[in-house]
Structure 1
């Protein structure tokens, strides 16, 4: 697969939350019709239609974030898919530990660098969107067809930057808010402290690792959340790397699946950090021929490929950031804050 086959489209969506969801759905409808609904991942998630936690997930979303319900309703309308199925797909990692969502992040005191790894069937169908709700901060986010924004990488108008890594937590026994709905809600925060407080204040179902930072701030945050805990580590000096399993002491008892890819990427990335390798060179690394950090193989053991790389510099008053197609050295997009050039 070459970078030429990995184009990243652009979407500008604004208005009510239903309007935004509708635009997202229409943008992603073709890819969902051609690939998603025929995929094994879709079938695996749809097999959970009668999972006993589903009513509680819906009730919690309605209680805490009814505006996200509106985005999901618009998304389903734009996709021309059943709202129940679209809701379930956006709960995939809460219900199924092996959902095809990957990623690797390098965290520095004023920088977040991130490989977005996902379903290779979406190669060439993903993109970036500038989302402008009428009642919340605007933001730019990487998008997958059929999914809410916010569970990939994004920067909002307050200069808040968030990167998201899958953590394959085994099925929780009690219901909380779906993890992708929580990360969508985080994009309304004005500061890292607000984002972390939001996670702490709400019940949680699945698990994620987040890189959180803000333009002009001196540190970034490595945040792991699960049903059991929200753990925070501040990155002020030495850089850190995070693949797709929980690492914090507070999550040591989390039942999780650590795949070979995640384990190898974590080990190789930490070795490269010790060698003072630049973040983008780490994210482009293919020295491990079987389980590389830059993932482009059709035989990837987690059935995931790198679909984009983001490098977010937070040292100035505005986030100065670029997005690359996988392995490229010339950016596909440059941003100063939310302004693309």
Structure 2
């Protein structure tokens, strides 16, 4: 069951609340994990210092959120900052996901560290002087790198891209957190182009009432945005022509989910049926095996309808079991 959290106030206050909520899960399921040990090897490195300097320069309010998060978790800022740079520094960080995109609709499987199954949540956050939003949240991470809907009508889903080459730009999770403070998809793409980018992500971005949905891939080298004219699927590797030369890792799971999803799309399968599919037993789209080859499991599924004046959304736990529904950022 996903938790439902609410917090309002300064960015530090919001980070503090998220840290206190996630502290126990991090102590029991993250701090002793191979993933945590892998990323903490970067402590004191020039790369980490450069990314931290970029956050301080360009997004001091997200620095405040990270400081609050670290305080709430009872961990050092350096440890928590590195964990929130995991995909920039380590191409095999355990972040997955699959998205089905269509005009006016986004449907998404959020795949992450299996130890967090049943320990994640949805957070209704109201930062002072910024748009309020509802976001999927992982213990130990700032919001905005999974799926989210803001009170401006913006909706976003996020997929991992395992880029082999990153730079010392702004961490990718900081950039997607910053997107939740903009008003519309055009501003989101402009933000990505305005700052140096460290890692790579795929975003599904749409706007309530606007009709258009966008598939956006960004990396250190480029930002590509494509308007979605017909249904398409995105797993965990760059597929835009503009990213054709991006050095990346395409795991067996990512390749099989992309191929299986496209096969199902061609046969007219519905978005939620695709996201629940386990027809490829070895590398299913819906992932719940302790032996998953990428060490990732599906934490939740969201279906977002952007055809009306407010984003209408449903979040599912196990396939077919609705846990939360909302309009805009209001839970209904």
SS at 2:140 equivalent = coil
What's the CA shift for 1:326?
2.7
C-alpha contact 1:210 1:224 (8 A) present in aligned 2: yes
Report the equivalent of 1:325.
317
What's the CA shift for 1:250?
0.8
Report the equivalent of 1:292.
284
SS at 2:308 equivalent = coil
Taking the aligned partners of 2:209 and 2:322, their CA distance within structure 1 comes to 23
Identify which of 31, 35, 46 aligns with 1:52.
46
Cα deviation 1:273-318 (Å, max 9, x = unaligned): 1011100000000000000000001000000000000000000000
What's the CA shift for 1:50?
3.1
Report the equivalent of 2:55.
61
What's the CA shift for 1:171?
3.3
Matched, 1:201 2:200: no
Cα deviation 1:102-132 (Å, max 9, x = unaligned): 0000000010000000001001110000010
Q: Which runs of 5+ in 1 are unaligned?
A: 1-6
C-alpha contact 1:244 1:258 (8 A) present in aligned 2: yes
The CA RMSD measured in Å over matched residues stands at 0.7
Cα deviation 1:203-256 (Å, max 9, x = unaligned): 0000000000010012100000000000011013x1010000000111111111
SS at 1:322 equivalent = strand
Identify which of 173, 178, 184 aligns with 2:177.
184
Report the equivalent of 2:234.
242
Identify which of 156, 164, 167 aligns with 1:162.
156
Identify which of 69, 75, 86 aligns with 1:75.
69
Report the equivalent of 2:262.
270
Matched, 1:336 2:330: no
SS at 1:53 equivalent = helix
C-alpha contact 1:294 1:326 (8 A) present in aligned 2: no
Q: TM-score, normalised by structure 2?
A: 0.99
What's the CA shift for 1:51?
2.7
What's the CA shift for 1:49?
1.2
Identify which of 104, 107, 118 aligns with 2:98.
104
Matched, 1:12 2:6: yes
SS at 1:333 equivalent = strand
Q: Which range is displaced more, 62-71 or 44-53? A: 44-53
Report the equivalent of 1:253.
245
SS at 1:12 equivalent = strand
Q: Equivalent residues in 2 for 1:202-217 (5 A)?
A: 202-217=195-210
SS at 2:148 equivalent = strand
SS at 1:184 equivalent = helix
Taking the aligned partners of 1:175 and 1:83, their CA distance within structure 2 comes to 18
Q: What is the aligned length?
A: 332
